[in-house]
């Protein structure tokens, strides 16, 4: 990307800091977001140096194909245990330890209003203005910056009874009786108490001042759906003065809340944490098909990050495995990318950009497959076989179709699409999007012999 283009993009992003957000929040995500998230590779312990190294690779190789988000995942406020050395990197446990007398360790980085701040031993530039310098760095590359947050207010803020900014209330005035979230660091906010909305307003106002473009909010839908806090976050974003995409985690989201999710969020997780295991992919066929009615118009059911390339650099969190390359086969990775693309899931890569071998770029950077994800319509599952699936979608503005055939079996088998299932007639040119080749002319039906756990994705162009 040339330097002039980067400067123009940087000026644009800086100018967005206090833009009007009176528009419909769906307009912020007209297409499924694409980018990279630090969790699968770095868990909760990434440093500023590592993050910038990743951003540099993303800007050079992945941004030209549309991967324009860079997300710091959870626990950026945690300095790590005593003796943890961010320059001799390894992971650390994410929770605080709390004693019966109310003492705790480690001490999280927090301001006088109970708002969590980036830990300066991991993010040196954060000492002056939070993530502002890092956001500026990401924006200078022509990319968007995101962070992970956890629902609620820090237990540490409650212990210190910090004031809620701009109010007469304090942290202890807004908590619910439920003591904490799964991280052991957060108290649940009582949505009915005065000062609760003001607390959320204060943290999202701070994120806007930092230049954050994307919020991944965790602990929102399991073990129960936190409708009130989701609404408060949505209101806080509208009140912040900045357009910030709201991504809700973790799933499986309940389909009965679909309308509420559309009203308050841009994307939401439909699955539990997804890893490089075939059984996780197999489950996703049911989940993506259930959420078809909510695909598009600025809302995106999220099948989770793509565990492709080098993962678990510290041996955590995927089953405490050591650092490893994705255990999915090449066929399984193509199948996964084909499903995520034709189901229009957000494409957030989770592998390490710095150390992932180049061979994995073929799966992530195929522009013809990515086009299906970004610019298809009327996406839906057509056929459910015992161990096969067929999906189809429209190519907007044309009579063309995108078609994906999936073999879920451990054996080679034929998978068929019959034209009459979708009222198609006539002859079509068949183009293999993974091969980027026109391969055949077809009418009436398509039958392909597929290897175990593999997929084919095509464009069908009408001839007559």
| pLDDT (tens digit per residue) in 137-151 | 999 999 999 999 999
Q: CA-CA distance, 72 to 52, in Å (whole number)?
A: 11
CATH class, range 3-375: alpha beta
Q: Fold match between 3-375 and 382-462? A: no
pLDDT band at 92 (very low <50, low <70, confident <90, very high): low
Helix (H) or strand (E) holding 51: helix 48-57
The CATH number corresponding to 382-462 among 2.60.40.1180, 1.10.150.130, 1.10.10.60, 3.40.50.1480 equals 2.60.40.1180
In this predicted structure, what is the pLDDT of residue 97? Answer: 86
Predicted pLDDT of residue 20: 43
Specify the pLDDT at position 11: 41
Higher-confidence residue: 195 or 18?
A: 195
Residues of the chain with pLDDT > 90, as a percent, come to 82
| pLDDT single digits (tens) 202-243 | 999 999 999 999 999 999 998 889 999 999 999 999 999 999
H or E, element range at 460: strand 454-462
- From residue 381, alpha-carbon distances to 190, 282, 378, 388, 393 in Å are 41, 14, 10, 11, 9
**Whole-number average pLDDT of the chain:** 92
Residue 316: which pLDDT band, with cuts at 50, 70 and 90?
A: low
Residue 18: band (very low, low, confident or very high) from pLDDT cuts 50, 70, 90? very low
Of 302, 295, 300, 293, the C-alpha closest to 272 is 302
Helix, strand, or coil (residue 4) = helix
pLDDT of residue 251: 81
Distance separating alpha carbons of residues 19 and 305, to the nearest angstrom: 29
**Parallel/antiparallel/unpaired status of strands 97-98 and 445-450:** unpaired
Q: Return the bridge partners of 265, or none.
A: none
pLDDT over 50 at 433, yes or no: yes
Average confidence (pLDDT) over 62-88: 90
First vs last C-alpha separation in the chain: 41
Kindly indicate the confidence band of residue 87, based on its pLDDT and cuts at 50, 70 and 90: confident
pTM here? 0.93
Q: Quick one: pLDDT at residue 14?
A: 42
Domain assignments of the chain as residue spans, ordered by start: 3-375, 382-462
CA distance linking residue 423 with residue 321, whole number of Å: 48
Q: Tell me what the mean pLDDT of segment 25-33 comes to.
A: 95
**Can you name the residues that pair with 383 across neighbouring β-strands?**
390
Percentage of the chain beyond pLDDT 70 is: 91
The tokens for 37 are: 């998230």
Residue 10 has pLDDT above 60, yes or no: no
């Amino acid at each position: 990307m040339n330097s002039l283009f980067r400067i123009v993009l940087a000026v644009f992003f800086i100018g967005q800091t206090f833009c009007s957000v009176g528009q419909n929040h769906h307009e912020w995500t007209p297409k499924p977001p694409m980018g990279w998230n630090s969790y699968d590779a770095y868990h909760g312990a990434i440093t500023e140096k590592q993050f910038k190294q990743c951003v540099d690779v993303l800007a050079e190789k992945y941004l030209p194909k549309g991967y324009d988000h860079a997300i710091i995942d959870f626990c950026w406020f945690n300095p790590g245990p005593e003796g943890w050395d961010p320059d001799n990197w390894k992971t650390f446990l994410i929770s605080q330890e709390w004693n019966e007398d109310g003492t705790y360790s480690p001490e999280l980085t927090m301001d006088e209003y109970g708002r969590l701040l980036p830990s300066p031993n991991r993010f040196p530039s954060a000492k002056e203005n939070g993530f502002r310098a890092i956001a500026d760095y990401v924006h200078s590359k022509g990319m968007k910056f995101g962070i992970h947050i956890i629902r609620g207010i820090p237990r540490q803020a409650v212990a210190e009874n910090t004031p809620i900014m701009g109010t007469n209330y304090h942290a202890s005035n807004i908590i619910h009786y439920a003591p904490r979230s799964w991280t052991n660091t957060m108290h649940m906010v009582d949505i009915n108490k005065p000062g609760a909305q003001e607390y959320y307003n204060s943290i999202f106002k701070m994120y806007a001042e930092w230049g954050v473009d994307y919020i991944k909010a965790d602990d929102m839908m399991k073990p129960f759906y936190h409708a009130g806090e989701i609404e408060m976050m949505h209101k806080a974003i509208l009140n912040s003065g900045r357009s910030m995409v709201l991504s809700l985690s973790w799933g499986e989201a309940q389909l009965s809340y679909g309308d509420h999710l559309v009203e308050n969020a841009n994307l939401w997780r439909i699955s539990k944490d997804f890893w490089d295991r075939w059984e996780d992919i197999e489950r996703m066929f049911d989940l993506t098909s259930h959420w078809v009615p909510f695909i598009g118009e600025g809302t995106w059911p999220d099948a989770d990050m793509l565990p492709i390339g080098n993962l678990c650099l510290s041996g955590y969190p995927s089953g405490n495995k050591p650092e490893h390359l994705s255990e999915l086969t090449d066929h399984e990775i193509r199948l996964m990318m084909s499903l995520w693309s034709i189901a229009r899931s957000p494409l957030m890569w989770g592998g390490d950009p710095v150390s992932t071998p180049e061979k994995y770029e073929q799966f992530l950077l195929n522009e013809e497959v990515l086009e299906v994800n970004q610019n298809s319509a009327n996406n839906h599952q057509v056929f459910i076989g015992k161990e096969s699936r067929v999906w189809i979608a429209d190519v907007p503005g044309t009579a063309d179709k995108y078609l994906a055939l999936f073999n879920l079996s451990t054996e080679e088998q034929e998978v068929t699409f019959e034209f009459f299932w979708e009222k198609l007639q006539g002859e079509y040119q068949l183009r293999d999007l993974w091969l980027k080749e026109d391969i055949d002319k077809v009418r009436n039906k398509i039958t392909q012999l597929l290897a175990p756990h593999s997929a084919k994705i095509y464009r069908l162009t009408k001839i007559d």
